[in-house]
Structure 1
Amino acid sequence: TENLPNRAPSNGYGMTETTALAIGNGGADYQAKPDSIGRPSPVVDARVVDPAGDELPPGEVGELCVRGPNVILGYWNKPEATAQTFINGWVHTGDMAKIDEEGFVYIVDRAKDMVIRGGENVYCAEVEAALFEHPAVDDVAVIGIPHEELGEEVGAVIRLSPGQSVTLEDLQAFLSDRLAKFKIPVHVWFRDAELPRNPGGKILKTHLRREILGN
């Protein structure tokens, strides 16, 4: 805002399947709730649902679904993918989100990135945000590590900032007053190379899991 005093920040959400911005947050709404992607566009409906497809009440986390005239009808020559993603007019986005009492939507994580540890849901984006607060962390990806009893444990792949050093124990102590104990990584892999990303800048966690765990 110092460099662009006559401009205001904004936030929004859209995907290929919605053909355009489906949810937006700007102006006074953004100033009040900058961590929200906003409210649906006038022609768009949004809701969050549980694994059974039932709509959840405000504040509860579930999969974000949207519908409207901007949503495509399906994928070309991919009937199975279409049937899985487009259900009763709603596109299931694969994003975990919550909607507050005023209709503002908050993205929590990607459904496929969520770690389920002993029945507890761990949202990787939350753990990554906490790790980014540590001055030694330059880049990080949180992933699920298979565990015989718990199902999964929380792991993190970290690229340190130049000249920095830190141990797993240091990070666990740092996170102890920021996260619930079950969300704190129990495995950490440090690497010098940049984390793998796709052309859109998203970390390729599948590649990281393959590097760490093998096939």
Structure 2
Amino acid sequence: MDHESLLAGFGLGFSLILAIGAQNAFVLRQGLARSHVFAVCLTCALSDAILIAAGVAGFGVLTQAVPGLEWGMRLFGAAFLIWYGARSLLAAWRGGQALQAGHGQQSLRGALATCLALTWLNPHVYLDTVVLLGAVAAQYDDRLLFGLGAVTASFVFFFSLGYGARLLAPVFARPGAWRVLELGVGLVMWAIAASLLLGG
């Protein structure tokens, strides 16, 4: 087994998803609320696996083949993030009982729909997984193991984030802490939307 390829894929994959983003912020919130954590983490990890597989298989050239595709993805992604960010900011402004864990939680279908949208409507996800990971994987003799390492990193990260969030549960037992979290999530969503629209 080519351990170098496996470890390289794991390291790069983990570093790319480590930064706080729209998807990670949502997983963190679901973990704190103990709401559909397994399903949300699995959805994120499987989505990453599909995108990584596409990149490793050589589909990273798609955005180059279709000139307007990347800009269209940016517009759709930014629009969704602006809407979702507004929801979080409104929740932060309202405060009180509506923000406590276990109250007013999304249905499983709603949580998965939001999770999928935050994943598949975010152009950064494609740039990181399909384009960047795909390009780096091409430099290794065993691209399959490189991709497997990156996929493993996604599973480890998302499940650690989702279930590790429970360690912070005592802090978020106070409605005020949920208001701060919602405010932070909303600002992160809007910052990412701005970066998409500005071409960052």
* TM-score, scaled relative to structure 1: 0.23
Q: Which has the higher contact order (CA 8 A, sep 6+)?
A: 2
Larger Rg belongs to? 1
* TM-score, scaled relative to structure 2: 0.24
Question: Between Structure 1 and Structure 2, which shows a larger proportion of helix residues?
Answer: 2
